[in-house]
Amino acid sequence: MSRRTCGEGIPDFYAKQVIEVGKPKCNGDWTGPKFDAVKEIFGLCRSIKDYNYKMDPENKDWPLISECNKEGFFKYYTTSEVQAIFDSLYTNKYEMTDAFVEFWNAVSKRLAKNPYVIGFDPINEPFPADIGVDPTLLDPGVYCKK
């Protein structure tokens, strides 16, 4: 979701706010069978700090990309920080949803008449927020409604 979490997409200042103000933690009981498939694909919930990656000397809040590349990016989706960022985006904590919509409105207005743009993908590979807080998001048809 952000460079702070071995990802990209969310501006650093939003990630910083969610992480430093919200103090994300792993929620729920990840030992239950509901989480088996999630654990198999993504691993257990943990903090990005638990990876003990070397940090970028120019920005001490960012793990080095070479360190981040040790795992597939999807492994970081179950970090407490990424789940909190998705949750903030989906629930408008810190007015993040409002800012996200405003940004994509500006982008779409700017590019609307460009004949070389056929579309855009504002949320590529979304994750269903904090599944520890709401494990029903893992139930068939809840996260991905038709």
Q: What is the pLDDT of residue 91?
A: 92
Q: Residue 44: pLDDT above 90?
A: no
pLDDT tier for residue 110 given thresholds of 50, 70 and 90 = very high
**Which among 20, 95, 102, 125 is annotated as catalytic?**
125
In angstroms, the CA 40 to CA 47 distance is: 18
Mean of pLDDT values over 129-136: 86
Gap between the Cα atoms of 63 and 52, Å rounded = 9
Q: Does 41 have pLDDT greater than 90?
A: no
What b/e sequence results for 26-46 when a residue is b if at least 16 CB atoms lie within 10 Å of its CB, and e otherwise? bbeebeeeebeebeeebbebb
Confidence of residue 144 (pLDDT cuts 50, 70, 90): low
* Per-residue model confidence (pLDDT) at position 146: 41
Q: What are phi and psi of 55, to 5 degrees?
A: -100, 155
* Active-site residue flag, 125: yes
Cα of first residue to Cα of last residue in the chain, in angstroms, is 25
User: What average pLDDT does this structure show over 14-42?
Assistant: 89
pLDDT at 5: 95
Distance CA 51, CA 67 (A): 9
